[in-house]
């Protein structure tokens, strides 16, 4: 999303950007998403939910998002819900195909199947090495690289990818090569607990097992590992699951739990999508009294939370806080916005994409 947003804004500002899209189509994970672009209703809730996040960047996203959504509407992006459906948050749900089409049209020239490194190898385009022309990296994080996930996040076992396959940390690597600093929270990620079995893109949303707060949650050894209350996003439970033996957990449910609702679905509806649901008698430990069904879940990683350190102008920073010449970052390549919790990745991509464009155009 962030790259398309940046290009669309640059064109509005009279520039002639080119988007290099490594994948086979524009839209990245945005196209696969539920497309709810949101912020916390209250600033204090944002801080409380993501307490270790970079406060100036959080402030930027929180203060700029409403205008940024209006900008999307002005481009003609189609809305499917006027509200998020969560009383703690405000924003809109867009149609992902319509939003991608709208942004791709506004972005102008998109070179699908190319990365900027294709260009830097061409002698007549050496300015794209970043020495003179600005470069906005918006490659969507590093969740698609098993090596980088192991190095920075260190789950107990490999995590299945719940995102586009092309976000393999190219922006992070380029920034590091040029001397960029890393944000806090390099070991954090956003994801959903999914049935512990292979899944495909079409399963990303419908198979998410978003009811850990109603379950008793055990690891393979039968230990209830999660202490305290599970957050509404359940991202804390998902990350804790990644640290358990085999990076998996068991959600054990009684009749009451099965009747609970999350938005328009009951817990029983979500359990019905899981091929890893079993009779509690078949658990590798003694089931708690009243258990009706157990589901083996494992995290699907959607995007990384740590990444390049940037300032409020989306300039990539060195460790001493000075900006790298001509290098900007946006979207999940930017780290530290939702450290310690979870906030809308689309909101961050939208606001940082606009900001990067405006800084690059100066
Ligand atoms: C199933 C699912 C549901 C989601 N639901 C929501 C939701 O409701 N609300 C929300 O806020 N967030 C949601 N998200 C997360 C959201 O999609 C991401 O936070 C957002 O897309 C990140 O934007 P981005 O621009 O950083 O990355 P992306 O949108 O993924 O775009 C990155 C692009 O960079 C390309 N790329 C990678 N490397 C290179 C390279 N070297 N050169 C050129 N191009 C490259 C990729 O191919 C991709 O097109 C969801 C994600 C998924 C998968």
Helix H, strand E, coil C: the string for 33-59 is CCCEEEEECCHHHHHHHCCCCCHHHHH
Structure token digits, residue 251: 């959600």
Burial class (CB in 10 A: 0-12, 13-18, 19+), 319: exposed
What is the distance in A from the centroid of ligand 1 to the CA of 283? 36
Could you tell which of 29, 91, 161, 170 is best to mutate to test the pocket of ligand 1, judged by most ligand atoms within 8 Å of the CB? 29
Query: Which residues are bridge partners to 89 per DSSP?
Result: 40
172 lines ligand 1 (CB under 6 A): no
The one-digit pLDDT tens for each residue of the chain (362 residues) are 999 999 999 999 999 999 999 999 999 999 999 999 999 999 999 999 999 999 999 999 999 999 999 999 999 999 999 999 899 999 999 999 999 999 999 999 999 998 877 765 543 333 444 456 899 999 999 999 999 999 999 999 999 999 999 999 999 999 999 999 999 999 999 999 999 999 999 999 999 999 999 999 999 999 999 999 999 999 999 999 999 999 999 999 999 999 999 988 999 999 999 999 999 999 999 999 999 999 999 999 999 999 999 999 999 999 999 999 999 999 999 999 999 999 999 999 999 999 999 999 98
Could you tell which of 30, 83, 168, 356 is best to mutate to test the pocket of ligand 1, judged by most ligand atoms within 8 Å of the CB? 30
237, 277 Cβ separation under 8 angstroms: no
pTM, to two decimals: 0.96
Q: Beta strand pairing status for 293-304 and 160-161? A: parallel
pLDDT at 116: 77
**Which residue, among 278, 359, 353, 339, has the nearest Cα to 49 in the 3D structure?**
339
pLDDT at 119: 61
359, 8 Cβ separation under 8 angstroms: no
d(CA 333, CA 311): 13
pLDDT at 124: 37
pLDDT at 118: 72
Query: Which contiguous run of DSSP H or E holds residue 250?
Result: strand 249-253
Q: How many CB atoms lie within 10 A of CB 81?
A: 14
Atom in ligand 1 nearest the alpha carbon of residue 330 = 26
Atom in ligand 1 nearest the alpha carbon of residue 353 = 25
User: Tokens 């328009």 correspond to what residue?
Assistant: 264
Structure token digits, residue 127: 């300015």
HSE (side-chain half, CA atoms, 13 Å) at 89: 21
Atom in ligand 1 nearest the alpha carbon of residue 3 = 25
């Amino acid at each position: 999303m962030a790259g398309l947003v940046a290009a669309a804004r640059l064109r509005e500002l009279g520039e002639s950007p080119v988007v290099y899209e490594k994948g086979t189509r524009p839209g990245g994970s945005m196209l696969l998403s539920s497309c709810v672009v949101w912020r916390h209703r209250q600033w204090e809730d944002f801080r409380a939910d993501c307490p270790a996040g970079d406060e100036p960047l959080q402030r930027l996203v929180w203060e700029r998002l409403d205008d940024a959504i209006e900008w999307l509407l002005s481009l003609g992006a189609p809305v499917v819900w006027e509200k998020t459906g969560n009383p703690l948050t405000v924003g809109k749900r867009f149609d992902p195909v319509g939003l991608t089409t709208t942004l791709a049209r506004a972005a102008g020239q998109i070179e699908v199947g190319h990365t900027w490194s294709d260009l830097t190898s061409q002698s007549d385009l050496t300015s794209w090495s970043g020495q003179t022309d600005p470069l906005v990296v918006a490659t969507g994080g590093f969740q698609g690289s098993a090596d980088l996930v192991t190095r920075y996040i260190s789950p107990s076992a490999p995590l299945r990818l719940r995102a586009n396959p092309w976000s393999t940390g190219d922006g992070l690597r380029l920034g590091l090569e040029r001397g960029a600093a890393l944000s806090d929270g390099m070991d954090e990620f956003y994801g959903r607990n999914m049935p512990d079995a292979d899944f495909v893109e079409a399963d990303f949303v419908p198979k998410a097992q978003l009811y850990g707060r109603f379950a008793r949650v055990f690891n393979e050894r039968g230990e209830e590992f999660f202490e305290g209350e599970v957050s509404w996003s359940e991202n804390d439970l998902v990350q804790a699951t990644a640290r358990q033996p085999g990076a998996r957990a068991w959600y054990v449910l009684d009749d009451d739990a099965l009747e609970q609702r999350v938005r328009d679905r009951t817990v029983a509806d979500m359990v019905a999508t899981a091929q890893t649901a079993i009779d509690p008698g078949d658990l590798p430990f003694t089931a708690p009294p009243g258990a009706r069904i157990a589901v083996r879940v494992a995290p699907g990683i959607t995007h990384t939370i740590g990444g390049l350190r940037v300032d409020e102008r989306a300039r990539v920073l060195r460790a001493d806080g000075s900006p790298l010449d001509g290098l900007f970052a946006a979207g999940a390549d930017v780290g530290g916005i939702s450290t310690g919790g979870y906030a809308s990745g689309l909101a961050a991509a939208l606001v940082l994409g606009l900001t990067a464009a405006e800084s690059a155009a100066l």
